[in-house]
């Protein structure tokens, strides 16, 4: 039987009324009805929908109960990267932050305005709306891509399934934080204790764990809240030039925004705001670990640009770390990827900021001696946010009798090789190199990582399993693995094994810079590896270079040069490099000139977006860098040109807005050929 117009109208009216009350409660913080009245409306709508299942709609406020368990979360790319924030820890660093901005913008002593808001201690989330409808929610992940947790996000009442108002963007990616208030956290832990479930250490862990459950029906029962802190990608809408006004716009279309957001003037305004929020910290209904300041003028934001993975125009001013006292009962030594032995304190378990801590870093032996830390001391332990807990100092007044200083072992605790210390270096290191199982595992994990050889499917647990079974003695053994070996591993089906072998085969085609970085030479990061590749053009040239020649390369100082020479002085490392090349690892040739300043594209900066035909973005970047250009991930007024392939992102729109030239594939190919590089 068809549903009457009267029932349709009643359902539509109830949904609109409930959505309006949700908006007033979660966004405006101004509820107009009691909880009991709200519950009556909700139950009435629920009853009508149950009686008329043909009225089912995914956008109904009753459809936040979750869905059957998923088997996994798929990975999705953000429309624009989710950047992290640089931190400030004192007033001096805040003054330095503003001075850098004034210098960058060329504004002298002119006053800057900032948007200020508390830094919520939760899990970052990106919400994608198309035509006003929520179509995807994803975790931050590595900043470029995250896990698709749409089913879970849909269960949060504070996240609108459809944006409010008649004038909404045709497409918008909203960034924010999911968190759990103290009261909800306490109730959840009480329930967990009653059913014998997991008791969470703090609200952040509870929020993160709840949002990443495979069963969204459980997520729906958790007291999670969403609050936005900004906009990522956008289309079909002209935004105001003010960060504060943009946040007000989000609130007007139904997105929750912090009730504590303010617009302040100058660094003094930032410091005053910081003190006001710090004074309220203990009385707030939720955890915060600092405050965030962003340039309010979005044109100035674009001019300031980004550095690495963080914007220059924003900073998180962190609150003082929380500290407690406990007893140091012993010291263990962990061997890292580069062979460094790090002293780790074994503590009588203690709760720091809601997290149970039984281990903490002691940094190095020099720090232990400088602080005069003894085994058996009462010590002060500090933990700030997600930072690894550290032993700050001993409580000497509580020391009784003669207590022993921790001693560095003479032999590696993993492989029993000699422990050595280079002159002038703080770290002690295992001399066992790749024969040391601890270094072997970490070296292989690093080698396979995304920014190195990018071997998809070769996760940490799989590496550890293969090393422990003796299948891999060094990184070169990866390319000797066969299907029968892999398929016989725990939790490794034949399909997964076949995919891993394909990923290994794909990784054979790389770049020299990635290969150098993948070797895991101490203090040789991505930028240094890139500089070495462009300066020498050959791995053999790098292996033969002495300290003096290496120091002629940008980004290579005496310590890094010594590390490179020391690495390649080990015959085992040279043998592994040669074995990897014999096994087929290769990269495009790089033409080296006497001076990078003479390269035709020196001093120019390019941004690549979209899909290029016949070559990847990495390959295009190599061709540009070979001619002295820099390749950036973000568009600014100083960008020389944006190279746009098929289906480019919003970088093209930003380039056009800033008056930056946009090159299509034909233009890119002309640029490269004109400057003497073949793309064949």
Indicate if the pLDDT at residue 516 is higher than 70.
yes
**3 state DSSP class of 349:** strand
Indicate if the pLDDT at residue 26 is higher than 80.
no
Question: Phi, psi (5° rounding) for residue 577?
Answer: -60, -45
Averaged pLDDT, 240-255: 94
* Residue 430 contacts residue 436 (beta carbons within 8 Å): yes
Beta-bridge partners for 235:
171
User: Quick one: 512-582 is in which CATH superfamily?
Assistant: 5' to 3' exonuclease, C-terminal subdomain (1.10.150.20)
Catalytic residue among 44, 99, 119, 598: 119
Looking at domain 87-318, its CATH class is alpha beta
Q: What percent of the chain has pLDDT over 70?
A: 92
pLDDT in tens, 259-302: 999 999 999 999 999 999 998 887 899 988 899 999 999 999 99
pLDDT in tens, 80-110: 888 888 888 889 999 999 999 999 999 988 8
pLDDT score for 344:
95
For the domain spanning 596-674, the CATH number is: 3.40.50.10190
Same fold, 433-507 and 512-582: yes
Number of H helices, E strands in the chain: 24, 24
Looking at domain 5-55, its CATH class is mainly alpha
**Alpha-helical runs (H) found in 162-288:** 182-195, 203-211, 216-219, 243-252, 266-280
**3 state DSSP class of 383:** strand
For the chain, the distance separating the N- and C-terminal CA atoms, rounded to the nearest angstrom, is 67
Architecture of domain 433-507: Orthogonal Bundle (1.10)
Indicate if the pLDDT at residue 597 is higher than 60.
no
Tokens standing for residue 572:
């085992």
Encode 23-62: b = buried (16+ Cβ within 10 Å), e = exposed: bebbbeeeeeeeeeebeebeeebeebbeeeeebeeeebbb
> How many other C-beta atoms lie within 10 A of the C-beta of residue 503?
16
For the domain spanning 324-431, the CATH number is: 2.40.50.140
Q: What percent of the chain has pLDDT over 90?
A: 40
d(CA 7, CA 18): 16
119 is catalytic: yes
pTM of the predicted model as reported, rounded to 2 decimal places? 0.51
pLDDT score for 43:
77
Averaged pLDDT, 621-640: 80
**3 state DSSP class of 288:** strand
Where exactly are the structural domains of the chain? 5-55, 87-318, 324-431, 433-507, 512-582, 596-674
- Whole-number average pLDDT of the chain: 86
pLDDT in tens, 524-557: 888 789 889 988 999 999 999 998 889 888 668 7
d(CA 352, CA 201): 10
pLDDT score for 31:
67
Q: What is the dihedral of CA 434, 436, 441, 445, to 10 degrees?
A: -30
Indicate if the pLDDT at residue 593 is higher than 60.
no
């Amino acid at each position: 039987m068809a549903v009457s117009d009267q029932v349709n109208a009643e359902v539509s009216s109830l949904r609109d009324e409930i959505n309006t009350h949700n908006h007033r409660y979660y966004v405006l913080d101004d509820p107009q009805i009691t909880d009991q009245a709200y519950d009556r409306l909700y139950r009435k709508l629920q009853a009508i929908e149950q009686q008329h299942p043909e009225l089912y709609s995914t956008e109904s406020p009753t459809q936040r109960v979750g869905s059957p368990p998923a088997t996994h979360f798929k990975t999705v790319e953000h429309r624009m990267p989710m950047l992290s924030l640089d931190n400030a820890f004192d007033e001096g660093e805040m003054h330095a932050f503003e001075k850098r901005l004034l210098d960058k913008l060329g504004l002298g002593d002119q006053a800057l305005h900032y948007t200020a808001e508390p830094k919520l201690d939760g899990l970052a989330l990106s919400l994608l709306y198309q035509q006003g409808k929520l179509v995807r929610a994803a975790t931050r992940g590595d900043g470029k891509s995250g896990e698709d947790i749409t089913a879970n996000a849909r269960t949060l009442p504070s996240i609108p399934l459809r944006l409010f108002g008649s004038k909404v963007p045709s497409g918008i990616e909203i960034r924010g934080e999911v968190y759990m208030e103290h009261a909800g956290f306490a109730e959840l832990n009480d329930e967990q204790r009653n059913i014998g479930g997991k008791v969470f250490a703090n609200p952040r862990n509870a929020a993160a764990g709840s949002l990443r459950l495979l069963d969204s029906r459980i997520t729906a029962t958790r007291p999670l809240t969403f609050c936005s802190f900004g906009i990522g990608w956008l289309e079909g809408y002209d935004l105001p030039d003010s960060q504060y006004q943009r946040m007000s716009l989000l609130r007007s279309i139904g997105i929750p925004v912090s009730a504590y957001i303010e617009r302040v003037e100058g660094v003094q305004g930032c410091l005053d705001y910081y003190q006001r929020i710090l004074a309220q910290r203990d009385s707030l209904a939720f955890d915060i670990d600092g405050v965030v300041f962003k340039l309010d003028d979005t044109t100035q934001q674009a001019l300031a640009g980004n550095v690495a993975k963080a914007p220059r125009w924003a900073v998180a001013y962190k609150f003082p770390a929380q500290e407690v006292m406990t007893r140091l009962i012993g010291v263990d030594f962990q061997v890292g990827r580069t062979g460094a032995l790090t002293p780790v304190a074994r503590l009588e378990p203690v709760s720091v900021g809601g997290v149970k801590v039984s281990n903490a870093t002691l940094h190095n032996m020099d720090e232990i001696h400088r602080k005069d830390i003894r085994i058996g001391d009462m010590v002060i332990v500090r933990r700030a946010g997600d930072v690894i807990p550290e032993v700050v100092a001993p409580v000497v007044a509580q020391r009784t009798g003669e207590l022993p200083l921790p001693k560095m072992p003479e032999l590696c605790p993993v492989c029993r090789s000699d422990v050595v210390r280079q002159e002038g270096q703080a770290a002690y290191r295992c001399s066992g190199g790749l024969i040391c199982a601890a270094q072997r595992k970490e070296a292989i994990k690093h080698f396979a990582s995304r920014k190195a050889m990018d071997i998809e499917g070769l996760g940490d647990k799989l590496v550890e399993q293969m090393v422990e079974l003796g299948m891999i003695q060094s990184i070169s053994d990866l390319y000797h693995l066969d299907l029968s070996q892999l398929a016989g591993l725990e939790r490794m089906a034949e399909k997964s094994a076949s995919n891993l072998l394909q990923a290994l085969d794909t990784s054979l085609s790389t770049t020299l810079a990635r290969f150098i970085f993948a070797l895991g030479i101490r203090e040789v990061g991505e930028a240094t590896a890139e500089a070495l590749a462009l300066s020498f053009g050959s791995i053999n040239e790098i292996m033969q270079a002495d300290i003096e020649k290496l120091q002629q390369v940008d980004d290579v100082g005496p310590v890094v040069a010594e590390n490179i020479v020391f690495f390649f002085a080990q015959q085992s490392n040279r043998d592994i490099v040669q074995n990897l090349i014999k096994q087929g690892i290769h990269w495009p040739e790089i033409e080296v000139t006497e001076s990078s300043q003479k390269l035709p594209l020196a001093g120019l900066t390019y941004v690549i977006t979209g899909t290029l035909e016949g070559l990847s973005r990495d390959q295009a970047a190599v061709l540009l860098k070979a001619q002295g250009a820099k390749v950036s991930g973000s568009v600014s007024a100083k960008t020389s040109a944006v190279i746009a392939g098929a289906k480019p992102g919003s970088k093209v729109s930003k380039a056009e807005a800033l008056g930056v030239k946009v090159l299509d594939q034909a233009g890119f190919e002309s640029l490269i050929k004109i400057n003497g590089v073949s793309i064949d």
